[in-house]
Amino acid sequence: MIILQMQENIDSETSRSQYKSTDLAIIIPTKDRPKEVERLLNSICELDCKVGRIIVVASGQDIHNVVMAYSEKLNVEYYSSESGQIKQRNMGISLLDDSTKLVATMDDDAFFYKTAVSEMILFWNSVEPQTAGVGFNIVNQKRHKHNWLRGLLGVSVPEPGRVLKSGNSTSISNVKESIRSEWLNGGGTVWRQEILLKYPHAEIKSNWAVCEDAIYSYPKSKKYPLYVCHNSKINIEDVAMLREKIELYRYRGKTTFLWTLYFVLSNKELSIVHFIFFRCLQMTALFIYGLLFKDKFRSAYALGAFSGLAVFPIVRFNKYKIIKYIEEKT
């Protein structure tokens, strides 16, 4: 029995793919952020290993000169595209060939720690071959914290990386240890290329593709393992939110409501009743908090979400009507 078990362990180890850092391509969709792209490319230059390809797909401002200034240091490519985060990411994926086995989809306001990619490759070589994706550990964002109030508001359970019946998900940022997750961040994840080809990301035309990461990754978690690698560290700065415009917070509140509504209706095990009830509870609490503590940004976000709720009688339970509304109104 012991010999048989040892043989099974050996067979399991040898069946795992052995990836190299040069098997990895990095795809960076961007719009009008030359400084952020430059910072990201600088961090790639500082990595302790070499990656296979870096594909920058830009809309808006032409940043060809910014990107190609790194061509002597990096195997970098530059392409122009129509605007749309998902559209641009899909264009990058379409340019890949068989030399790429792993694909990192990155936000342009991210940057790597020195060992981020080497630790990621080590992790990929330790997990099941059928693993679909592994997220980087976003260490500058808040770690998941559960308490009774957040549980009451329907936004939390004790475990990180969970998707709740209300459509809310618990954080996968700044994890203390590597975890298995039910969703992954769209702008900081490494996927097997064959997964991206088998399950192309459907495009929804919107100025802000909030919730697109859960929309894409959560269904994959029902079929394949997803993980977050604790030792593979990056930062992601939310540049848009740092600009602190009231209109932006109101817009984000409304758009987040609509995209999450679409997400809930796209997965039958999630609950529209839970979504509406807990979202109203959350936004009421957020609005009152904003009034009490004179936080106009939180209040604006809550009002934006309530304006999203006002759309519900129009779209009701039809996710295709939601898509149409998002594309036409946001």
pTM of the full predicted structure?
Answer: 0.89
Which tokens belong to 287? Answer: 């609005």
Residues with Cβ within 8 Å of 101's Cβ and at least 6 positions away in sequence, in order, are 17, 19, 23, 24, 192, 193
Question: What pLDDT shows up at residue 182?
Answer: 98
Average pLDDT by stretches of 10, the chain with 330 residues: 37 64 98 97 98 98 98 98 93 97 97 98 98 98 85 83 95 97 97 97 81 96 98 87 73 92 95 92 94 94 94 83 82
Question: What pLDDT shows up at residue 312?
Answer: 82
Degrees, nearest 5: CA angle 195-74-109:
65
Buried b (16+ CB within 10 A) or exposed e, 42-68: ebbeebebebbbbbbbbbeeebeebbe
- Is residue 169 within 8 Å of 163, Cβ to Cβ? yes
Three-state SS string over 19-81 comes to CCHHHEEEEEEEECCHHHHHHHHHHHHCCCCCCCEEEEEEECCCCHHHHHCCCCCCCEEEEEC
Question: What pLDDT shows up at residue 9?
Answer: 43
DSSP assignment letter at 174: S
Which tokens belong to 59? Answer: 């809309």
Question: What pLDDT shows up at residue 239?
Answer: 61
Question: What pLDDT shows up at residue 42?
Answer: 98
Question: What pLDDT shows up at residue 314?
Answer: 84
Superfamily for 12-239? Answer: Spore Coat Polysaccharide Biosynthesis Protein SpsA; Chain A (3.90.550.10)
Domain ranges for the chain, please list them.
12-239, 243-329
d(CA 258, CA 262): 6
CA end-to-end span of the chain, whole Å? 62
Residues with Cβ within 8 Å of 274's Cβ and at least 6 positions away in sequence, in order, are 154, 164, 165, 166, 167
Question: What pLDDT shows up at residue 15?
Answer: 54
d(CA 26, CA 104): 5
